[in-house]
């Protein structure tokens, strides 16, 4: 699709900064006309909700999800964010968008009308299209089920607090939250949220399993049986090691299904946390692409509105100020520097793709022969949004021009050397090394520790053995390792051993064991404060 600017033919959508619901509806219609009519974006139906800054802080505290269950950590985050916001040391997002069907967009009532228009283009069009079409979200999440599942999770946690005490529930959730990133199955086939009918079938199957496990106790009682009709229960004892598939990388799944001392409600809490971890897993892998897609979309839509005369010059200047602030990449010596800005990096690469498809240079033709001069920037971007994640996106589309613009280079640093040295400069080999090194930083499989359960004694000492595959000599910190063992022991109910193994040679580098077993929570019957 070729993008051609048009002449101003319309009056501005609004005058001044004040907004009304009618103006918001008018702005959304204009944004939708460009997003769907011109760019042909494929989106979920949108729900726009105007919230206060206090409600935005609530959403921050509950990891960005509405209808979230209560936990003390959410209240802690709320107090921290509120204090920083009141002091002026932290700003709030202009919007918050939920990957659901319909797509829920929260906009702050403190925003000006210009910012409302920007947010509608950014979230209701850009993020919405990315959520619906990117393959990771299609494989890992069900947008039509997440809100109902959050309702179920919130009510279930509340019932558990009433029946078993707040302290008992908090201890299970504390341990589950600590192991949340290790509660994901890397294969998406069985990770989608289940329907209500499937949930009932699963509950019935768990009940029957518990009954069978209880009936296994009767096998210890001597009984008379026929020689030609063997007892079915004696074929494979329940809880034997032969029924456990090891190694297992999904720690929460293994504990939910196998932990000897967990009660049924505790296993359901682990499953709730697992489902939430699965929901956030695609977002962790597409931060650069997701924000880049939304930023490019709002940049195009806002410029088109201005070209059509639907934005005044004052509104356009306000938009450009906000846009440039979001897409700024601080220098390494700037006190605001905290790594690569995903908005800046994603937007820069996507603008570069737009340039390569329309006005390629000889360098672009050498590096991107398939898309250089194709003349279809929107079509190419939509394909990229659908088929890539951050690491593969950077590895494929980070061009030498963007590397030069961001002044990226490679540094080699090893513990055995007293100094670092520059390993990649701005030549052809250096460009490829920089691109590969930057892509590696966004690969979740290499950034998260590789923990796997390799042994579980289900009939003897009940000891659980977990291995950490050490890559590039990076071992676990002692404090984090002790806390991980503590939470594992809390859920498993017995001693846990962690072995650090070199990923290449298989040599055991270090062993850790939990020094103390968690104590059972006191049943005080008190309810936690709601956040």
For 318-370, the pLDDT digits (tens) are 999 999 999 999 888 888 888 889 999 999 999 999 999 999 999 999 999 99
Within 10 Å of residue 360's Cβ, how many Cβ atoms? Answer: 18
Write down the pLDDT at residue 227. Answer: 39
Cα–Cα–Cα angle for 182, 58, 298, nearest 5°? 85
Per-residue pLDDT of the chain (531 residues; tens, 9 = 90+): 444 544 456 789 999 889 999 999 999 999 999 999 999 999 999 999 998 877 777 776 666 676 777 776 666 655 665 665 565 555 556 678 889 989 999 888 888 999 999 999 999 999 999 999 999 999 888 888 888 888 888 889 999 999 999 899 999 999 999 998 888 887 765 444 445 455 556 666 655 655 655 555 545 555 444 334 333 233 223 344 445 678 888 999 999 999 988 999 999 999 999 998 898 899 999 999 999 999 999 999 999 999 999 999 999 999 999 999 999 998 888 888 888 899 999 999 999 999 999 999 999 999 999 999 999 999 999 999 999 999 999 999 999 999 999 998 888 776 667 777 777 778 888 889 999 999 998 988 888 888 999 998 887 788 899 999 988 788 888 888 888 899 999 999 898 999 999 888 888 988 888 766 666 665 544 433 322
Which one, of 70, 22, 78, lies nearest residue 50 by Cα? 22
CB 127 within 8 A of CB 293: yes
Verify cis geometry, omega within 30 degrees of 0, for the bond prior to 12.
Answer: no
Q: What is the DSSP letter of 67?
A: T
For 448, the token pair is 């998260």
25: its two tokens: 């509806």
CB within 8 Å of 227: residues ≥ 6 apart: none
Distance of CA 397 to the CA centre of its chain: 22
Label residue 265 exposed, middle or buried (CB < 10 Å: 0-12, 13-18, 19+): middle
Rounded Cα distance, 519 and 506, in Å: 35
- Residues of 301-334 as b/e, b for ≥16 C-beta within 10 angstroms? bbbbbbebebbbeebeebbeebbeebbebeeeee
């Amino acid at each position: 699709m070729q993008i051609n600017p048009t002449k101003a033919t319309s009056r501005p959508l609004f005058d001044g900064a004040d907004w009304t619901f009618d103006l918001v509806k008018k702005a959304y219609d204009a944004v939708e006309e460009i997003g769907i009519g011109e760019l042909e974006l494929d989106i979920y139906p949108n729900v726009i909700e105007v919230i206060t800054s206090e409600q935005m802080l609530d959403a921050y505290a509950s990891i960005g999800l509405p209808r979230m269950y209560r936990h003390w950590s959410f209240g802690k985050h709320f107090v921290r964010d509120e204090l920083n916001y009141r002091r002026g040391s932290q700003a709030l997002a202009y919007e918050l968008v939920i990957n659901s069907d319909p797509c829920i967009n929260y906009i702050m009532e403190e925003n000006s009308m210009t910012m409302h228009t920007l947010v509608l283009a950014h979230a209701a069009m850009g993020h919405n299209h990315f959520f619906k079409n990117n393959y990771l979200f299609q494989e890992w999440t069900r947008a039509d089920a997440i809100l109902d599942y959050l309702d179920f999770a919130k009510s279930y946690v509340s019932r558990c607090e009433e029946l078993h005490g707040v302290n008992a529930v908090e201890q299970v959730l504390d341990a589950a939250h600590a192991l949340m990133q290790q509660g994901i199955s890397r294969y998406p086939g069985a990770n989608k949220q289940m329907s209500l009918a499937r949930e009932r079938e699963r509950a019935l199957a768990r009940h029957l399993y518990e009954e069978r496990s209880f009936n296994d106790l009767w096998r210890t009682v001597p009984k008379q049986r026929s020689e030609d009709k063997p007892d079915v229960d004696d074929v494979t004892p329940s809880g034997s090691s032969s029924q456990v598939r090891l190694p297992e990388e999904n720690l929460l799944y293994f504990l939910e299904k196998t932990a000897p001392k967990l009660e049924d409600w505790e296993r359901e809490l682990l499953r709730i946390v697992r489902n939430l971890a699965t929901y956030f897993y695609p977002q962790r892998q597409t931060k650069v692409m997701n924000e880049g897609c939304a930023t490019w979309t709002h940049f195009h839509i806002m410029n088109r509105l201005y070209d059509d005369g639907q934005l005044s010059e004052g509104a356009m200047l306000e938009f450009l100020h906000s846009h440039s602030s979001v897409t700024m990449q601080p220098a390494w010596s700037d006190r605001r520097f905290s790594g690569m800005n995903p908005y800046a990096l994603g937007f820069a690469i996507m603008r570069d793709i737009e340039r390569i498809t329309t006005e390629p240079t000889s360098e672009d033709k050498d590096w991107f022969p398939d898309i250089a001069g194709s003349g279809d920037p929107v079509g190419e971007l939509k394909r990229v949004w659908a088929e890539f994640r951050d690491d593969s996106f950077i590895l494929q589309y980070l061009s030498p021009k963007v590397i030069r613009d961001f002044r990226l280079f490679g540094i080699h640093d090893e513990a055995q050397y007293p100094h670092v040295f520059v390993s990649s400069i701005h030549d052809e080999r250096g460009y490829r090394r920089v691109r590969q090194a930057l892509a590696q930083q966004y690969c979740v499989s290499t950034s998260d520790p590789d923990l796997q359960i390799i042994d579980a004694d289900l009939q003897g000492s009940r000891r659980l053995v977990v291995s950490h595959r050490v890559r590039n000599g990076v071992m676990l910190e002692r404090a984090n390792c002790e806390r991980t063992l503590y939470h594992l022991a809390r859920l498993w109910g017995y001693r846990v051993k962690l072995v650090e193994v070199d990923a290449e040679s298989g040599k055991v580098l270090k062993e850790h064991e939990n020094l103390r077993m968690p104590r059972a929570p006191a049943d005080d019957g008190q309810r936690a404060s709601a956040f």
